[in-house]
A = this chain, B = another copy of it.
Amino acid sequence: MKIHYECFACAANQCQRIVEMGTDDLELRKKGVVEAARLMATISEDSIPAIFGSDVFLGVYRVIGNDDPFREYKELSNRLAERVVSDLEKEEIDLRTALKLAIIGNVIDFAVGYSPEKIEEDVREMLGEELYIDHSEELFKVLKSAKTLLYLTDNCGEIYFDRLFLKKLKEAFPRLEIYIAGKEGPIINDATVEDLQNAGFEKLGRVVSTGTRIVGVPFDRVSDEFRAIFEKVDVIIAKGQGNFETLSEINDERVFYLLKAKCRPIARELEVPQGAMVCLRAR
């Protein structure tokens, strides 16, 4: 997916958030956004938002001298989400509900003034909503005969919902060989390999790095190891917008997108209403 017109201001707003989270020094914040402005000039009509944005954000990280401005935010997200998911796990959850929970996990901003009770309330409300596009039966059918699955994670917090879904997938398809991918290093609130290891994903599959800190799956930046895994697997589950933005550049029907169309560009691209939850097979 190429940028839409809204991506520029959105990236600028994210840069502001990065400098605010990354340093209290007003002069350093200013240096950070001046660098952001300089880097953003490389944007073109064909830029992919996740890639172009990551490059700008990492440049801002360098200038403000903070390699992980979202560290606290991510830790809080993980703690909160873990509590909510551990409550949910006490109940009988079927595979399709677990899939929906994985999408719902993509929606909630766990770290923004949220109590676990309020999150649970919101999660249950969203569980009542229908998926706008629902290829989940197709996904489960494909998984039945698949040997290998690559699961592309997205954000911290959300990963605890992914963990629940992966547990259910493992129960339903016990012979499936599972790869779970995180980022090589911190980029915004994305889950790193370390985050996945800390959350115990190694019990569910082989935790692998995309080989890059760039959001999504930027094919010219991923490691050879990751590319080899990507190429050989039978099914790919791609969580969230960043993975969609990069993978929609190829039409690979092994890919199932699980996301909520949070912003207008993604909704426009998917031809769904903004806010729609989808489990969509790529064509």
Measured CB to CB, the residues of A under 8 A from B are 3-9, 11-13, 15-16, 19, 26, 29-34, 36-38, 40-41, 43-45
Given contacts A3-B30, A4-B26, 12 further A-B contacts (CB under 8 A): A5-B26, A5-B33, A8-B12, A8-B15, A8-B37, A9-B13, A11-B12, A13-B13, A34-B45, A37-B43, A40-B40, A41-B41
A29 to B4, CA, bound (A): 9
**Residues in chain B near residue A34, CB distance under 8 A:** 8, 43-45
**Residues in chain B near residue A16, CB distance under 8 A:** 5-6, 8-9
| B5 lies within 8 A of A9 (CB) | no
Give the distance to chain B from A182, nearest Cβ to Cβ, in Å.
29
**Residues in chain B near residue A6, CB distance under 8 A:** 16
30 pairs, A vs B, C-beta closer than 8 Å:
A3-B30, A4-B26, A5-B19, A5-B29, A6-B16, A7-B33, A8-B12, A8-B15, A8-B16, A8-B34, A8-B36, A8-B37, A9-B9, A9-B12, A9-B15, A9-B33, A11-B12, A12-B12, A12-B13, A13-B13, A30-B45, A31-B45, A34-B43, A34-B44, A34-B45, A37-B40, A37-B43, A38-B41, A40-B41, A41-B41
Give the distance to chain B from A208, nearest Cβ to Cβ, in Å.
34
A4 to B32, CA, bound (A): 11
| B41 lies within 8 A of A37 (CB) | yes
Give the distance to chain B from A3, nearest Cβ to Cβ, in Å.
7
